[in-house]
Every structure is written in C-alpha cells, then in structure tokens.
Structure 1
Amino acid sequence: MGFMEKSKYQQAIQSFTQAIEVNPENTDAYLQRGRAEKESKEYEKAIADFTKALELDQTEASAYSGRGNAYECIQDYDRAIEDYTSVIELVPDDDHAYNMRGNARQARRITGLKLKNAEFASVISDFTKSIELNPYNFYAYNNRGNAYFDRKDFRSAIEDYSQAIQIKVDYTYSYLRRGTASYEFVLYGDKLAQKKLEEEGADEESKKDKFTKDPAECKAQWEQEFKEMEEAERKEKERVQLLNNAIADFKTILTFDPNDIEAYNHRCKVYEMLGDEENVKLDKNKILELEVQLAKDLRR
C-alpha cells in the first residue's frame, strides 16, 4: 500500500472517529471506520469496529461480511466461516457470501494436504451456489477451479478457469491458473503413465511365459498392441496441445503486462518441457533483465 493510499484511509478513520464521538451509537460510522481500518491492514481494530456495529444492529449483514474478511486476513478461518454463514442466513441470495465462505473453507486446509472429501464437497457446493445465484461471478468460477486444481482434477479446473475468462477476458489471474493447470496436467499425467509402464514392464516376463502361437490369440495380442499405440499417439497429441495452450495463456498475460516476471517463469518452464531451447534462452534472458531492473528499483 502506497503512502498516499494509506494516508487516505487514515483521514477516513479520523473522520469516522469524530462521527462516533458525536454519536457513540452511530452504527454506520463504526461500519465505515472498520472498512477503512481493514484496508489499512489494522485487522484487529477493524474486527472490534465491525463487532460494535453488530452490537448496535445484529441484522447488519455487511458488518458480518467485513468482519469475516478481516478474520480471513489474520487466518482465523473458523470465525470467518461463521460470519459468512451469518451473512447467508440474513441474505440467502448473496452470491458474494457463498464465494467468500468457499474461499475460507478452502484456505482452512493444512498446507500441503488435501481437504477431506466432506470438506471438499462443502467448498465446491459454496462456489457452485455462488455461480447459480450469479452466473457472471467470475471470481467463483476461478476459485472453484482452484479447488479442483488442488485435488489434481485439472480438466475440471481448466473448464472453470475458461468460464472465468469468458466472463472477464482481461482477468489475467485466470489465464495464469489455466496455463499452470495445463502443464501440471501434463506432468501429473506423465507420472501416471510412467507408473503404468513400470507395472507393465514388471509383468513382461510372465506374459512371455504364457505366450502361445495360437493364431487367434496372436491376433488378439496384435490388436491390443495396436490400440495401445493409438492411445499413446492420442496422449502425445493431447500433451503437446496442453503445453501449447499453456504458452498461449502466458503470452496473453504478457500482452496485458509485458513485464510480468511470473508469466515468463511459467512459460520458460513449458518451453523446457517442449525442448524448445531457443525460447528457453530468450525467456531466461528476459527474466534476468527484469530481475536486474527490479533490484535497481528497490535500491532507489
């Protein structure tokens, strides 16, 4: 947050403080001061003001929403979920509240661990309900995509990121997530394929022992091998397509922001997966150039 922006919120806080001094039961003043404090990252103060607003008016849904967001910011996800649930009870058609509760439920998981099936179902249910209430809520599509991504359901994740982009074509975060999901899908799929090949290789000798020269069985074996070859070709085409899709997404981000170093890093990784050494070199040089410039800017 820049100095001017922080100064703006501090001025707002002072103004609402004066309003509260004039009328200590001014619910809106507590609510607005809480919002300004939250934007200034003074989360504990914001929580106190939203709580005071709710003491004065228990039906103020925006106070529950603001407090829930402040709780999220200090990673108190259980209380955030409680507050978003209160919003939903007061305003059942609030798509934003369902989206935020889904986020809090998703964030509550232990880093590096997947959500339990029941918890995952609740997360998906919240995002889906948000979308049902507002089919143009691109945030909910993106967030549901993130939930699928964490479960390594990359196809579903890509579909949701695509929906978010269709609604808001300049939402670069969804391009980043979709591009990442595309190449992660390739990496994850390759691991499964490799595991399958290893299992088949381990069983190769037993298959040879059972080999027979019976024509009917030989024909069946050749047909099976042919199907496997076709499937391998299909998977390779899909792999290349996914990687090219990822490159296209990262290129799109760079049309919006030519200096997005994260997009260059991801694209460089995809070029490496494709064995495109020339473009790997170009992206690495650009990344170095941006890092040098960033270091200079920080020293100023």
Structure 2
Amino acid sequence: MTAEDKNQQAVKAMQDGELENAAKLLNESIEENPEDPVGYINFGNLLSAVGENEKAIVFFERALGLDQSQATAAYGKGNALYNLERFKEAQDTYQEAVKLGLHQSDVYYMLGMSCFQQEAFLQAVPQFKTAVELNDQDTEAWFHYGLCLAQTEHVSEAIDAFHQLNKLDDAHADSWFNLGVGYAYQGEPDKALEAFNRSLEIQPDHALSANGKKQMEQAMEDALNQENPE
C-alpha cells in the first residue's frame, strides 16, 4: 500500500471514528514519505479532532514548511488556533488560506467568527456575507451575519438575514428573538411581539424573549392609553 493509499484510508478511518487506526496509517505514511505535506495535514486534522490543538499546529506548520501553497494546512492551523481561543492569530491564518486560494464558505465563516470573537463586527460582516453567498443553506452563518449587521446598526439588513435563517430553520429560537429586537428597534411592536412569541413557543424558558414580550406588551398598552385617555 502506497503512502497516498494510507492517507486516503486514514481519512476514511477518521470519518468512521476509528482514530487509532487513522493515527497508525498516518504515522506509516509520514515515515514512508516524509516530504509529502498531505500526511502532516491529515495528522494535524486528527490531532485537532481529539483536542490536541497545540500539537496539531506543529503538523500544519510542518506541512507549510514543505509546501507554502498548502491552503488546507493554513485552514487547519487556523482551526487549531481558533480552538485555542487565539482569535487574532486564527484570523490572520484564515486570511492566509484565502490568499492561497481556499475560497470556501467554511473558511469565510470561520474568518467571520474570528472577527466576531474579537468584537470586530464591522470586519466580520463581509466575511459572513461571503459565507452565505457561497452557501445559502448555512444557518449559523446567517445567524452571525444578522448579529453583526445589528451590531453595526444595519438593522433592516439584519432583519432580512434573520428572516432568511427562519426560512431555513423555523425553530431557531435565538433568531426569532433577535428578529423581535430588530422590529422593536424599528418601532414595530406588533411584529416584535409576534417574533418574541414565536421564540417562546420554540423555547418556553427563553428569558430574553420573555422579557422582550413583556416590554412590547407594556409599550403597546402605554400607546393605547395615550390614544384613549380616561
């Protein structure tokens, strides 16, 4: 069996949850072909999968040392850094993966998340926008895109993003809550109340939605009293 075959079998073993077998195959592959970056990338992915992120970084860097054009090595290193909560380093590494030609939704999503974790919402917006353009079925990308749009005061666009998410997953309580917040911000208490109620139907103990509902009901009652004073 060639080193390439062992790499392929190792990937399948990882997918099947046979991690010890995957590690054995990858060790053999690297020993037989130590100049091939693919074995190091796969071993890095395996180490990340079991939470050994510091060790994983070493393997990804070894792969990049052998071949600086390995975009998947940069992406894997970015994931390991993200898992270690080294978000600025992760951001820089994901950007390197993009420069190397890895234009996939997941890369832009993780690049957006790295910015999001640093509260760099303005930087995150275009990354999430690209992520949903490349994969319009990604509910978490839509959710964080909506959050970042709201944080940067693009409320109408945020509402559109949450609506898009709700079309994909009508049972996303946090999306309905944030939709309610958007409508409340725009002075549409009826729509806000409807969104908060939907969130509570999905998750009855959603405290933020319960509070939002209470505030909207109070606002609507106050408005009614102003229109019809005794």
Counterpart in the other structure of 2:194: 278
Describe how 1:2-21 pairs up with structure 2 within 5 A. none
Secondary structure at 2:119 match in 1? coil
Q: Please tell me whether Structure 1 or Structure 2 has the larger radius of gyration of its CA atoms.
A: 1
Q: CA deviation at 1:175?
A: 1.0
Q: Give the length in aligned residue pairs.
A: 197
1:130 maps onto 2:118 in alignment = no
Q: CA deviation at 1:280?
A: 1.4
Describe how 1:152-171 pairs up with structure 2 within 5 A. 152-171=119-138
Q: CA deviation at 1:157?
A: 0.9
Deviates more, 1:34-43 or 1:263-272: 263-272
Q: CA deviation at 1:287?
A: 4.9
Counterpart in the other structure of 2:144: 177
User: Which residue, out of 227, 243, 248, partners 2:160?
Assistant: 248
Normalising to structure 1: TM-score of the pair? Answer: 0.58
Deviation digits for residues 123-163 of structure 1 (CA, Å, limit 9, x no counterpart): 22211111122263332222111111111111111121112
Distance 1:163 1:32 in 2: 31
Say if 1:124 and 1:134 are closer, same or farther in 2 by CA, change over 3 A: same
Task: Decide whether the 8 Å contact of 1:35 with 1:66 is kept in 2.
Answer: yes
Distance 1:286 1:26 in 2: 52
Structure 1, unmatched stretches of 5+, are 1-24, 110-114, 187-237, 289-300
Distance 2:22 2:80 in 1: 18
User: Which residue, out of 139, 154, 158, partners 2:106?
Assistant: 139
Secondary structure at 1:251 match in 2? helix
Counterpart in the other structure of 2:28: 52
Counterpart in the other structure of 1:90: 66
Say if 1:172 and 1:277 are closer, same or farther in 2 by CA, change over 3 A: closer
RMSD: 2.4
Task: Decide whether the 8 Å contact of 1:38 with 1:70 is kept in 2.
Answer: yes
Distance 1:30 1:131 in 2: 28
Q: CA deviation at 1:272?
A: 4.5
Q: CA deviation at 1:28?
A: 3.5
Secondary structure at 1:92 match in 2? coil
Counterpart in the other structure of 1:19: none
Deviation digits for residues 192-224 of structure 1 (CA, Å, limit 9, x no counterpart): xxxxxxxxxxxxxxxxxxxxxxxxxxxxxxxxx
Distance 1:78 1:280 in 2: 42
Q: CA deviation at 1:268?
A: 2.0
Name the % identity.
Answer: 15
Distance 2:108 2:114 in 1: 10
Distance 2:25 2:45 in 1: 13
Task: Decide whether the 8 Å contact of 2:163 with 2:179 is kept in 1.
Answer: no
Q: CA deviation at 1:26?
A: 3.8
Counterpart in the other structure of 2:82: 106
Deviation digits for residues 242-273 of structure 1 (CA, Å, limit 9, x no counterpart): 2x433322221233344xx3x33322244146
Distance 2:18 2:7 in 1: 14
Q: CA deviation at 1:80?
A: 1.0
Counterpart in the other structure of 1:210: none
